[in-house]
Each structure stands twice: as C-alpha cells, then as structure tokens.
Structure 1
Amino acid sequence: MDTTKFVHWQDGDSWIGYLAEFPDYHTQGDTLADLEDHLRDLYADLSTGKVAGARRVGELQLP
C-alpha cells in the first residue's frame, strides 16, 4: 500500500488539511477520518491530471 504525507489541524468543529506534495489544495472534513477520505479523493484528482496546472512540491538533489 502506498502512502503520502499530509498536514492537518482542527479548527472549531472541522478538520482541515492538505497533501504535503500539493500544499496549494486544502480540503476539510467533520472528523479526522472524514478528512482523510477527502484527502484520498483529492490525491486521486491531483495525481491523475484531472486538475489542470496542479502545482506540486518536488525534491532537488544538490551537489
């Protein structure tokens, strides 16, 4: 099973988060589990090109 990192926090009654690879795209849920479901859907859309021009974070090797 593949994994990806995400950042999350609770704001009042909502859980808000984003995928570390795609920090410009936030989503929210009523619970942490609900947020994780939304993040999975968001990842599917972003990683398959359904969102045109999606910006992502990469890693650069330095000398």
Structure 2
Amino acid sequence: MRGRFTLEYWRDGDWYVGRLVENPGVFSQGATLEELRENIQDAYELIVTQDRAPAPPSAERQALELEV
C-alpha cells in the first residue's frame, strides 16, 4: 500500500521522534532522520497489515461527531 503522508518530527535528546500527521497513532523514533523515516514506515506497515479480531456478531456501529 502506497500513499503520501506528512512526517511531523522533533528532537528529544539524541533521538528524532515523529508521527504521521494523517495517522497520529503511528509513532516512531530513530538516531538519525533517515532511521526515523525507515522506522515510521515499518510502524505504519505493521498498523495497516496486522490481523484484528473480528467484532462479535452483536456489535453495532454508529456515526459519531466529536467536538475538539
């Protein structure tokens, strides 16, 4: 799966720490910016390819609007 994402990153001591703006649950770190880029890609791939347990048959869904 390919797509364009925005990497937001900052320094935390000797580490580069970052997240994907479009998917803020994907975080990673690296000793260099290049290592952070590689690690964030690995983290994203793990999130989108992991197997999730199915919801129980009685599960329902609702649209939800949040005020932020």
TM superposition score normalised by structure 1:
0.66
Structure 1: runs of 5 or more not aligned: 53-63
Matched, 1:17 2:18: yes
For 1:31 and 1:6, the matched residues in 2 are separated by 14
Q: 1:1-63 residue pairs with structure 2 within 5 A?
A: 2-48=3-49, 50=50, 52=52
For 1:51 and 1:5, the matched residues in 2 are separated by 25
AA in 2 matched with 1:35: L
Structure 2: runs of 5 or more not aligned: 53-68
- Indicate the structure (1 or 2) with the bigger Cα radius of gyration: 2
% same residue: 31
Cα deviation digits, residues 11-55 of structure 1 (max 9, x gap): 11100001112213321100000000001101111122x174xxx
- Give the number of equivalent residue pairs: 52
TM superposition score normalised by structure 2:
0.62
Deviating above 3 A after TM superposition, structure 1's stretches of 4 or more consecutive aligned residues are none
CA RMSD of aligned residues (A): 2.2
